[in-house]
Amino acid sequence: MHLLLALLAAASAAEMQAPVTFDEALGLAARAPAVAGAEEAAAVHQDLAGRVSPLTANPVLLLQPGAGWGPGGSPLGFQGEATLLQGWNLAGLPGARAGSVRSETEVLLAEARAVALSHRLAAAQAWIELWAAQQALADARQEAEIAGDFAMRVARAAEVAALTRSDAADARTYLAEAKLLVLQVEGETVDLGFALAREMGRAAATPYVAAGALPAPPLPSRTDWPELVAAAQKLPAVRARQLTARADRSRELEARAARGFVLGTGVKATRDYANATYLQAVLDFNLPLFDLGERERAPYAAAAARGEGESAEASARAATDLARGLHEEEHAREVLDELEKNLVPAASDAARLREAAMRAGDATVLDVLLVRRAFAAARARRTRAEAAAAWARVKLWLLLSDLASPGGKP
């Protein structure tokens, strides 16, 4: 693992990294193979569904050719019958079948929107996490340089007995920790670069790099929160569950209508041995007295009942998650403000003043290392807080954009 990280760090950026902006990541995710496949499935089904015939049975042609012979074996000639039948379902099967296939198309369209939204959310989160890792790597490298310079100065002071050997050891320990952190964050950055490629549906031999600043999309005001939470049931994943339950109900109706009253009408032509031709009307009745399609209807009825319960729960969960997301975004901004305005500046001042005190002989090397660790930790927390606030905001923006757009594309 350490060898792999060293090789990756030594490789040139041009060879190893492919920069991608946040908007590009969303655009590539929207064209991922799984998204394209889901959209194509909906389009294919919709095309074939539009060509479903209103007639539920094909015509049937029955031919009965024959020949006859007299008592002495003398041939009487050929005779034959031809019957053409057409069945007509009078239990509403054409309408039930049209409703069923229409419901299936709606399910596929909703599922395609859900897949597209899921990919955009995953790509957005992966990009933001990669951005945070890259910022953390830059901070870690800077801290490693500072630690190296500090360790060198302490070692020189120890050589002239201005500081002790234990002070030099403490400084070297801090330098080793800083270098180890660089290696750790390098590995995290590479892993997240590949994760971003995966979420965008791209085959990548090298990790991606997040280019540009963090996104800051607009969000509605707090007064709009109740209306937004109430609309959460329109999110594509919830909508797909609702439509699936409805489609199962439609299939149940279709199965019942398929076993309903069927009238068969037709005409029969007969030619006898005397070459006389007769025409007859044919009526065929299929009476639904015993088999009402219970076997075919049972799984659809059960699936619909289960789906209705699941869709109700999904709707409630989506409203709760959206409300939580609104509060989470507000809380993340408050945490970031506190870090930027108070903790990071205070930690920076403490590190600067403690080093000045050490040079004046009023602080020890250990005191300086403690405040430098605190300053490094504060900067790392700020970077993660920036990413958390951006992700909370972007997640809401994508969800709300999908609610506002029938196509599910912000």
Q: Could you tell me the pTM of the whole model?
A: 0.83
Report the 3 state secondary structure along 47-78.
HHHCCCCCCCCCCEEEEEEEEEECCCCCEEEE
- Give tens-digit pLDDT for 267-296: 998 888 777 888 999 998 988 888 888 888
Q: Give residue 139's pLDDT band: very low, low, confident or very high (50, 70, 90).
A: very high
**Bigger pLDDT: 350 vs 68:** 350
Q: What is the pLDDT of residue 4?
A: 39
Q: Which residues of 160-178 are buried (b: 16+ CB within 10 A; e: fewer)?
A: eeebeeebbebbbebbebb
The reply to whether 28 falls in a domain is yes
Q: What is the pLDDT of residue 405?
A: 66
Long-range contacts (CB closer than 8 Å, 24 or more residues apart) made by 250-253:
250/96, 250/99, 250/100, 250/102, 250/103, 251/100, 251/300, 252/297, 252/300, 252/301, 252/304, 253/92, 253/96, 253/99, 253/100
406 has a pLDDT exceeding 70? no
Q: What is the pLDDT of residue 162?
A: 61
Q: Give residue 157's pLDDT band: very low, low, confident or very high (50, 70, 90).
A: confident
What is the average pLDDT across 241-254? Answer: 93
Q: Give residue 159's pLDDT band: very low, low, confident or very high (50, 70, 90).
A: confident
148, two tokens:
């190296």
Provide the CA 117 distance to its chain's centre, in angstroms.
Answer: 5
The reply to whether 2 falls in a domain is no
**Bigger pLDDT: 367 vs 134:** 134
Q: What CATH number should be reported for the domain holding residue 210?
A: 1.20.1600.10
- Asked if 92 and 257 count as a contact pair (C-beta separation under 8 A), the reply is yes
- Return the residue matching tokens 């019957």: 83
The reply to whether 7 falls in a domain is no
363 has a pLDDT exceeding 90? no
The reply to whether 410 falls in a domain is no
- Give tens-digit pLDDT for 40-68: 999 999 998 888 888 888 999 999 988 87
The reply to whether 121 falls in a domain is yes
The reply to whether 169 falls in a domain is yes
The closest of 71, 78, 20 to 200, measured between CA atoms, is 20
**Percent of the chain topping pLDDT 70:** 93
Strand partners, 267: 84, 281
List all residues 6 or more positions away from 204 whose beta carbon is below 8 Å from its beta carbon: 18, 193, 194, 197, 198
State the chain's mean pLDDT as an integer. Answer: 87
The reply to whether 296 falls in a domain is yes
Domain that holds residue 19: 15-404
**Bigger pLDDT: 254 vs 69:** 254
Q: What is the pLDDT of residue 79?
A: 85
- Asked if 91 and 112 count as a contact pair (C-beta separation under 8 A), the reply is no
Strand partners, 269: 82, 279
DSSP-assigned letters across all residues of 25-53: HHHHHHT-HHHHHHHHHHHHHHHHHTT--
- Give tens-digit pLDDT for 251-271: 999 999 989 999 999 999 888
- Give tens-digit pLDDT for 193-237: 999 999 999 888 889 999 999 999 998 888 888 888 888 888 999
The reply to whether 9 falls in a domain is no
Q: What is the pLDDT of residue 9?
A: 47
Instruction: Count up the domains in the chain and report the number.
Output: 1
CA distance 277 to 79: 10
